[in-house]
Amino acid sequence: MRMRRKANLDGRIADAEKTGRLLILNVEDRHFERAVLEKEYIDFEKIFGNKNPVVLEIGCGKGQFCTELAKREPGLNIIAVEKSSNVIIDAAEKAIAMGLKNLITIRCDAEYLARYIPEGSVSRIYLNFSCPFPKKSYEEHRLTHRRFLETYKKLLAPGADICQKTDNRKFFEFSVQEFTQSGFALKNVSLDLHADDCKDNIETEYERKFVAEGLRIYRLEAYLL
């Protein structure tokens, strides 16, 4: 079901952009493979004012996770990426209201990230409750499809990892296969995160909903050998 466009969305986006907490990245070229050959790298040192490690959350939704992470970990710089303007505006406004200087929200499709994020610059990527796209014909849109994993490989710094959580068992199984076939190894795998020790876990908006419905949460960390 499509979400209704928020009232005064353009005005709210313009206000958030003025604060520097929201970047709207528009690529004219819809052919993403060609578009990522051109680089418009974000200067992390300039936007954050320090050289702290950078982590990415892709598909951040309304920003529950990234704002809490930014609050708990002031020594990390966080880039929260979301393709929908209607959704990321909530994340941007939360970051602004909370005065989080170590969080920047970006409206961008994950397909274009290699255009903006410098190679080898990211110390962790979070994929929280990414859309599972259950239909086989849509599997290329899953954020753990191998075509996305090839992009992430370029962005990850040596020793960096990807942390995935999902409630969807089939999507989790698909992801395990994609990670392993793309040269990643897995660690800290949980088939029921909330039954395991997860005291440092930051619950996302979707996670809270799924846990309340009694669903299991699957989690893994993937790293390059």
Ligand X SMILES: C[S@@+](CC[C@H](N)C(=O)[O-])C[C@H]1O[C@@H](n2cnc3c(N)ncnc32)[C@H](O)[C@@H]1O
How far, in Å, CA of 138 to CA of 135, rounded? 5
Neighbouring C-beta atoms of residue 80, cutoff 10 Å: 29
Please choose, out of 98-106, 186-194, 202-210, 216-224, the segment that lies near ligand X by the rule CB under 6 A: 202-210
Q: Is residue 77 a contact residue for ligand X (CB under 6 A)?
A: no
Of the residues 48, 152, 206, 218, which one makes contact with ligand X according to CB under 6 A: 206
Which residues, including other chains, have CB under 8 Å from residue 89's CB and lie 6 or more apart? 6, 9, 12, 13, 16, 22
Residues 87-146, interacting with ligand X (CB under 6 A): 87, 109-111, 128-131
Alpha-carbon dihedral sign for residues 143, 9, 91, 102? positive
Of the residues 23, 55, 60, 79, which one makes contact with ligand X according to CB under 6 A: 60
Q: How far is the CB of 198 from ligand X (least distance, A)?
A: 15
Of the residues 59, 91, 93, 102, which one makes contact with ligand X according to CB under 6 A: 59
Q: How far is the CB of 150 from ligand X (least distance, A)?
A: 14
State which residue, 33 or 45, has the beta carbon closest to ligand X: 33
What secondary structure does DSSP assign to 13-33, as a single string?
A: HHHHHHHTSEEE---S---HH
Report yes or no: 205 and 68 within 8 Å, Cβ to Cβ: no
Interface ranges with ligand X (CB under 6 A) = 58-61, 64, 81-84, 87, 109-111, 128-131, 204-207
